[in-house]
């Protein structure tokens, strides 16, 4: 698996009347490690699911290696994530 830059551009997601994610932008350089920290319910898992292709964003785009991933199936994205719990 080759290392790819990851670009998250203006991602937004709503569940009903609730904005879960609004205007999220993130740049991750190839080979860089990133963690998402925050309280329960702040949208961390939703953002990871959008990046992985398990959830569709209502607005914005996900790109990796210069390639748009919005219409790419999860199995074809060459991405992975791990949940960490201290419970």
Tens of pLDDT along 22-76? 999 999 999 898 888 999 999 999 999 999 999 999 999 999 988 999 999 999 9
**CA-CA-CA-CA dihedral for 83, 12, 57, 62, to nearest 10:** -80
What is the three-class DSSP state of 44?
A: helix
d(CA 30, CA 20) in angstroms, rounded, equals: 27
Total residue length of the chain: 87
Please give the domain boundaries of the chain with CATH numbers for all domains.
6-76 (3.40.50.300)
Overall average pLDDT of the 14-24 stretch: 96
Tell me how crowded residue 67 is: count the other CB atoms within 10 A of its CB: 11
Tell me how crowded residue 66 is: count the other CB atoms within 10 A of its CB: 8
pTM of the model: 0.87
């Amino acid at each position: 698996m080759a290392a790819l830059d990851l670009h998250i551009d203006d991602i937004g997601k709503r569940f009903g009347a609730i904005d879960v994610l609004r205007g999220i932008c993130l740049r991750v350089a190839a080979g860089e490690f990133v963690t998402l920290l925050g309280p329960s319910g702040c949208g961390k898992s939703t953002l990871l699911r959008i990046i992985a292709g398990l959830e569709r964003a209502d607005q914005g785009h996900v790109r990796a290696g210069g390639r748009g991933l919005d219409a790419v199936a999860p199995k074809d994205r060459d991405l992975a994530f791990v949940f960490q719990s201290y419970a």
